Structure 1
């Protein structure tokens, strides 16, 4: 599973050695936050693939990793089985127009991208950032006394 690191300026998709090998990609995929135009959650990441793997690995329904080229666009995909994922549309990125990933942290990524991360924060895992945001104090209503049965 890919690791997603997010700081105030960029999102980084950290690939394991196996993922790098199957994707034919030498390093991690760095995306400037300013290049992210839209983030969508999806139940089936396979429906978002367009074009052909070039270079990349594709075993239908099992794995799709690497660069996918279609008419005038290049996408980066790390898809395993039929799991939920995230689709990140990009504008102005030097390599890709879209990144499609299967991850169980898709909702956390969407929430973390909505936050304003302070400029002095170091890179952190997306799930950690979203968890910190979820810990905001909530206002509780005062307890209302309930009359005992038979008391008017």
Structure 2
């Protein structure tokens, strides 16, 4: 499991020796906090994986480690089985557009990154979002289709 180090200026994904070997990555992945656009929690990181490993290791459903290249941009992934994960979207990072990590500390990471909320801004509660009303656009009324009554059967 990756180790996450977070300070006021950057997030560092510390890779073990085995993770470095499987990811074909020499060092840790350093992410400046200013490049982090969004952080999302997910139960299954495999749905977020896009492109092909280049370089990297991929055993479907078991591990995915390394750089993943696609038309949408390069991603860095450390995924183990179907465990809780975090997806970090980046803007302006020199190497990656997203970082996808399997970690049990995803909620703590999200909470730590949200400490810079302005005093007047109140973050939305997930429960309020999930149970709130859904805005609906004004649509024209739906016309009811006429239902034909079947003719009675005649005896022959």
Could you say which residue in structure 1 is the equivalent of 2:7?
7
Pairwise CA RMSD: 0.7
Could you say which residue in structure 2 is the equivalent of 1:67?
67
Query: Which string of whole-angstrom CA distances, capped at 9 and with x for unpartnered residues, describes residues 77-120 of structure 1?
Result: 0000000100000000000000000000000000011124xxxx
Could you say which residue in structure 2 is the equivalent of 1:82?
82
Question: What is the CA–CA distance in structure 1 between the aligned matches of 2:103 and 2:94, rounded to whole Å?
Answer: 24
Query: Which string of whole-angstrom CA distances, capped at 9 and with x for unpartnered residues, describes residues 43-99 of structure 1?
Result: 100000000000000000000000000015100000000001000000000000000
Question: What is the CA–CA distance in structure 2 between the aligned matches of 1:52 and 1:79, rounded to whole Å?
Answer: 14
Larger radius of gyration, structure 1 or 2?
2
Question: What is the CA–CA distance in structure 2 between the aligned matches of 1:26 and 1:115, rounded to whole Å?
Answer: 31
Could you say which residue in structure 2 is the equivalent of 1:130?
none
Could you say which residue in structure 1 is the equivalent of 2:134?
none
Query: In the alignment, is residue 38 of structure 1 matched against residue 38 of structure 2?
Result: yes
Could you say which residue in structure 1 is the equivalent of 2:105?
105
Question: What is the CA–CA distance in structure 1 between the aligned matches of 2:90 and 2:71, rounded to whole Å?
Answer: 16
Question: What is the CA–CA distance in structure 2 between the aligned matches of 1:36 and 1:72, rounded to whole Å?
Answer: 17
Whose strand proportion is higher, 1 or 2? 1
The alignment of Structure 1 onto Structure 2 pairs a total of residues equal to 116
Gaps of 5+ in 2: 117-156
Of structures 1 and 2, the one scoring higher in RCO (CA 8 A, sep 6+) is 1
